[in-house]
Structures are given as structure tokens and as C-alpha cells.
């Protein structure tokens, strides 16, 4: 058992089998994480460095916990503050860290493609924890695990992704993943928050939320990324909530057993009604967080296996 990639840079490079392999292993870790003793030695002796060039509480905590539960030595570097300010380039930062012989590098960066650039310069396995508006693969994987557990499958589902698609790496990774797993994707957003040419990605696009949510199995809400906006995209938050915010009335269009997801952090009253977010019969938002740790454990486990296999080959040669 293994996956076909050396780094986890994006969903785009993964095969459906890779995705299934990661999710299957993650199921084991869901079980482990629910026991009193959550410790495993799978990554014992390995070093994991989390490099976050962008502020993150949730993802960084999730990766840190995943590494620690697998027995890795985990180090966190908040890089927003230090080296960049001193004028060091990303490549130099990467080379410096590489010289410390880490085995797993987890990186988040505000620029699309930065993680790809880093992966070309280092010897260890690189995990993308979100780069610009490009990809956030572990988020899509944890969403997939959540959906699979709730619906029993990933294929032939109708999934609506709603909100700020233009600025969202989560949306891109989810579109790639759900397409690979043969689900139907609907995008619902104001035209200004749809990236150009998105209709070529094998999705149906809706402007109207009621129409778009009709009979869907999964409703994925996205955060309105006010910090990434550089101009007028929507007239006001209250108009946005009125037309594209998820409330009970709009949700009634979806299948009665449709689940509601959100990658967090939520803007209650902007893209989602607080009552829906807290409704345990519909919302799986807390479960997504739980799946996040398990999926990251699985991904790091598989990458570490790949890493050990390469090192063995090197030793033989």
C-alpha cells in the first residue's frame, strides 16, 4: 500500500486510488484518535517542521497534533514574523531548513505555487497546507472523508460549493477531488466571486442559491475571504447574506438528509446562519475538524513510507 507521489502538493497530482488509500488509512486513525491512548510510533525518529508563512490556528494545530500522535518530533515555525522581514527569500529559507534534515515539511504560503517551488529545493516530503488561491489538499481530503462517512460513498453525489470560489484554494482542491471521484459539482456564487473560466472545470454554475441547492446531498459553504479581496466584489455583507447566506429556508431545497459543511473559521450571519452551523442533525462542521487530524496522520504516514522506501533504495545502490 502506498501513494504515487513524493509530496502532497495538490489533489491535481493524485489518482483516485491515491485518494482512496489515504482515506482508508485515515479511517484507522479516526479510531485511534477516539481511544484513551492516542499514541502511535509510525513517525518515531522523524522530524516534522511546520512552516506557516500565513497565520493559521486550526490547520497548524491539526498538523502539529497529527505529527505528535504519530510520534514525530514536531517543530513549528511562524515565519510571517522573522526571516521574510530580514529579506531572506523563500528558497534560502527552504535550503536552511533542509540542512537540518527534516523528513516532513508542512508549508502554508500566501502565494500560489510557493509550495511547488519549495518542493524542488528540498530532499524531504513536502505537504501543502494551503498556497495562495491554488490548493489546500488536506482540506479536500478531510472533506472527502467526512462526506464518505456520512453518505457511505464519494461517487454519484451532488455536492454544492457555495460562496467565495474566486479566492478559495479549498474550492479548487475540492473541485479536483470530487471530479476525480465522480461526483457532480455545483458552484453557487455571485458572478464576481467566480474565477474566470471555472465553467471549464466540469462543474455546473448557479447564481441563484435556491436553484443551485435543489436536491443536493452535500452543501459546502466557504468563508467570505474579506482579507483577500482587493476591490468591490459584493455590495455589502447583509446583501450577501440575503442572497447567498445559508439559512433554513434555502437549505430546504436540498435533500432532507443533506449535510452542511464549512472549512472554518465561520462568519456567522455572513455566509451561514448560526443555527444551522450548530444543528447537529445537519452540520458536520465539528466532524470535519476531527477528520482533519486523521487525514493528516494518514497523509504523513504514507509520505513517510515513501521516504523510507527511497532511502532504502539509495542504501542498496
Partner 1 sequence: MLILTNARLIDPEKGTDKLGSVVIKNGKIAEIVYGDTPKGKTTDCGGKCLAPGIIDIGVKVCEPGERHKESFASAGRAAAAGGVTTMVIRPDTKPAIDSPETLHFALSRAVEDACVNVLSMAAMTRGRNGKEMAEIGFLQDAGAVAFSDADSVIADNKIFGRCLTYAKGLGALVMGHIQEPSLSKGSAVTSGPFATKLGLPGASPMAERIQLERDMALVEMTGVRYHVDQISTAVALPVLERAKAAGLSVTAGASIHHLTLNELDVEGYRTFFKVKPPLRHETDRVATVEAVASGLIDIISSMHTPQDEESKRLPFEEAASGAVGLETLLPAAMQLVHGGYMDMPTLWRAMSLNPAKLLGLAGGRLAKGAPADLVLFDPDKPFVLDRTTLKSKSKNTPFDGRRMQGVVLRTFLGGQEIYAKS
- Known active-site residue 108: yes
Beta-carbon neighbour count of residue 87 at 10 Å? 7
Please say which residue, 119 or 158, places its beta carbon nearer to partner 1: 119
Our CB check for partner 1 shows the closer of 114 and 277 to be 114
Nearer to partner 1, 102 or 132 (CB): 132
Which residue out of 7, 21, 59, 296 is catalytically annotated?
A: 59
Is residue 262 part of the annotated active site? The answer reads no
Q: Identify residues 253-312 at the interface with partner 1 (CB under 8 A).
A: none
Does position 89 bind partner 1 by CB under 8 A?
A: yes
Indicate if 58 belongs to the active site: yes
Nearer to partner 1, 113 or 235 (CB): 113
Within 11-70, the residues that bind partner 1 by CB under 8 A are 12
Q: Is 172 in the site for partner 1 (CB under 8 A)?
A: yes
Q: Which residue in the list 7, 109, 136, 301 is annotated as catalytic?
A: 136
Total binding residues for partner 1 by CB under 8 A? 25
- Please choose, from the candidates 27, 32, 30, 2, the residue with its C-alpha nearest in 3D space to the C-alpha of residue 17: 2
Map the footprint of partner 1 across residues 188-217, applying CB under 8 A: 195-198, 200-201
Query: Given the rule CB under 8 A, which residues bind partner 1?
Result: 12, 89-91, 109, 111-114, 116-117, 131-135, 169, 172, 195-198, 200-201, 230
Amino acid at each position: 500500500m502506498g501513494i504515487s507521489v513524493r509530496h502532497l502538493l495538490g489533489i491535481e497530482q493524485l489518482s483516485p486510488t491515491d485518494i482512496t488509500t489515504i482515506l482508508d488509512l485515515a479511517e484507522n486513525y479516526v479510531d485511534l484518535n477516539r481511544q484513551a491512548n492516542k499514541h502511535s510510533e509510525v513517525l518515531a525518529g522523524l522530524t516534522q517542521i511546520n512552516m506557516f508563512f500565513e497565520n493559521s490556528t486550526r490547520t497548524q494545530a491539526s498538523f502539529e497534533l497529527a505529527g505528535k500522535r504519530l510520534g514525530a518530533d514536531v517543530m513549528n515555525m511562524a515565519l510571517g514574523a522573522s526571516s521574510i522581514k530580514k529579506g531572506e527569500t523563500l528558497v534560502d529559507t527552504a535550503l536552511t531548513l533542509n540542512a537540518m534534515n527534516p523528513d516532513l515539511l508542512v508549508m502554508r504560503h500566501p502565494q500560489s505555487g510557493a509550495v511547488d517551488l519549495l518542493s524542488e529545493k528540498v530532499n524531504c516530503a513536502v505537504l501543502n497546507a494551503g498556497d495562495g488561491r491554488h490548493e489546500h489538499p488536506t482540506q479536500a481530503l478531510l472533506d472527502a472523508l467526512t462526506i464518505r462517512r456520512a453518505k457511505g460513498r464519494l461517487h454519484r453525489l451532488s455536492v454544492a460549493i457555495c460562496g467565495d470560489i474566486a479566492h478559495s484554494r479549498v474550492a479548487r482542491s475540492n473541485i479536483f477531488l470530487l471530479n476525480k471521484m465522480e461526483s457532480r459539482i455545483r458552484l453557487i456564487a455571485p458572478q464576481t466571486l467566480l474565477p474566470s473560466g471555472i465553467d471549464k472545470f466540469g462543474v455546473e454554475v448557479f447564481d441563484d442559491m435556491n436553484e443551485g441547492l435543489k436536491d443536493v446531498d452535500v452543501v459546502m459553504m466557504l468563508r467570505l475571504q474579506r482579507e483577500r479581496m482587493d476591490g468591490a466584489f459584493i455590495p455589502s455583507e447583509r446583501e450577501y447574506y440575503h442572497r447567498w447566506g445559508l439559512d433554513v429556508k434555502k437549505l430546504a431545497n436540498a435533500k432532507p438528509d443533506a449535510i452542511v459543511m464549512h472549512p472554518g473559521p465561520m462568519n456567522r450571519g455572513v455566509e451561514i446562519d448560526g443555527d444551522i452551523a450548530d444543528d447537529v442533525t445537519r452540520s458536520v462542521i465539528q466532524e470535519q475538524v476531527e477528520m482533519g487530524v486523521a487525514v493528516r496522520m494518514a497523509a504523513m504516514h504514507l509520505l513517510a513510507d515513501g521516504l523510507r522506501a527511497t532511502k532504502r533504495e539509495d542504501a542498496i545502490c
